[in-house]
Amino acid sequence: MSAAVIVTDLVKQFGRFAALRGVSTEFAAGRLYAILGDNGAGKTTLLRALAGLTPLTRGSISMLGTTDLRSVCGQLGYMAHPSLLYDEMSGMENLRYFARLYEISDRGQNDEDRCADVIRAVKLDPSLTRPVGQYSQGMRQRMSLARALLNDPKILLLDEPFSNVDLRSAREMVTLLTGLRDAGKTIFVVTHQAALLEGAADEFVWMEAGQIVSRTSDLAATTETK
């Protein structure tokens, strides 16, 4: 199995605080990783570094066989804790704009169809004209996931996708994610709700104080030692 992501000695320093203190590891392609840890353990910073949003103090990231992250950013889907959507526009209007950024129409699919497909995939209605600002938290979260899926990415980076989402919707999102994983995508999920991913995630990655402290495929085993 080939490695989709290789990180070497990642250090991210903010003044007198380091969010990442020398992270070196590999992640295989086509698997679902749950990244767990306390607040301030560096989970979000790691995810942002993978997305190319955070310039590193030291270290390098190789993704899909290249260290030039700019050249593969079209293959990446990123969902942050905030929604990354314009509150004043409807879901469809938002996605239509982001579809332009990825120039999806050049890949042989019509913008309109693609946007409507992703919205349906997250169990929302494409014909909804309400602006996103008036959505419920759960709906907004799902629309945000739809935005991340828009360019049919090979690697998906999700930061807290289940926060403030009701249990049923969260389960549906997990099913959607495992389906994507089975279709060959590499998925990283930063979450506090590890239990939701039990049985779904291939591996649980524990972080503490800016380092990866353990990786295991069995959630129960790690929780025991904690």
* Token reading at 172: 């549906």
Residues 193-222 that bind other proteins (CB under 8 A): 206, 208-211, 213-214
Site for other proteins contains 168 (CB under 8 A): no
Q: How far is the CB of 224 from other proteins (least distance, A)?
A: 11
Closest C-alpha to 26, from 199, 153, 186: 186
Query: Who's near 160: CB < 8 A, 6+ residues apart?
Result: 81, 190, 191, 192
Q: Which stretch binds other proteins (CB under 8 A): 52-60, 160-168, 185-193, 196-204?
A: 52-60
Mark residues 117-156: x for contact with other proteins by CB under 8 A, - for none. ------------------------------x---x-----
3-state helix, strand, coil in the chain (%, to 5): 40, 30, 35
* Planar angle of CA 198, 199, 203, nearest 5 degrees: 80
Instruction: Measure the CA–CA gap between 144 and 84, rounded to whole angstroms.
Output: 7
Site for other proteins contains 68 (CB under 8 A): no
**List 73, 116, 128, 200, residue binding other proteins (CB under 8 A):** 73
Q: How far is the CB of 1 from other proteins (least distance, A)?
A: 26
Q: How far is the CB of 175 from other proteins (least distance, A)?
A: 25
* Token reading at 184: 């060959």
Site for other proteins contains 64 (CB under 8 A): no
Nearer to other proteins, 89 or 176 (CB): 89
Site for other proteins contains 101 (CB under 8 A): yes
Query: Cα-flanking dihedrals φ and ψ of residue 16, to 5°?
Result: -100, 15
The answer to whether residues 145 and 161 touch, using CB atoms and an 8 Å cutoff, is yes
How many other C-beta atoms are found inside a 10 Å radius of the C-beta of residue 212?
21
Total of chain residues touching other proteins, rule CB under 8 A: 48
Taking phi over 0 as left and psi of -120 to 50 as alpha, with beta for the rest, 193 belongs to beta
Site for other proteins contains 17 (CB under 8 A): yes
Residues found near other proteins in the complex (CB under 8 A):
11-18, 21-22, 51-55, 57, 70, 73-74, 76, 78, 80, 82-89, 93, 97-98, 100-103, 147, 151, 206, 208-211, 213-214, 225-226
